[in-house]
Amino acid sequence: MTRVILFNKPFGVLSQFTDKGTEGSPRPTLSGFVDVPGVYPAGRLDRDSEGLLVLTDNGRLQARIAAPKFKQPKTYLVQVEGIPDDRQLADLRAGVVLKDGKTLPATCEQIDPPGLWQRDPPVRFRKTVPDSWLSLTIREGRNRQVRRMTAHVGLPCLRLVRWSVGDWTLEGLAPGTWRDA
pLDDT at position 118? 93
Using DSSP, state whether 6 is helix, strand or coil.
Answer: strand
Supply φ then ψ for residue 122, to 5 degrees.
-65, 160
Residues noted as catalytic: 46
Rounded Cα gap, residues 178 and 181, in angstroms:
9
pLDDT at position 134? 98
Kindly give, in sequence order, each residue whose CB lies less than 8 Å from that of residue 176, ignoring residues fewer than 6 positions away. 8, 10, 13, 33
Rounded Cα gap, residues 101 and 28, in angstroms:
33
pLDDT at position 70? 81
Domains of the chain are 4-68+167-180 (3.30.70.580), 73-165 (3.30.70.1560)
**Residue ranges of the chain whose pLDDT lies below 50:** none
pLDDT at position 127? 82
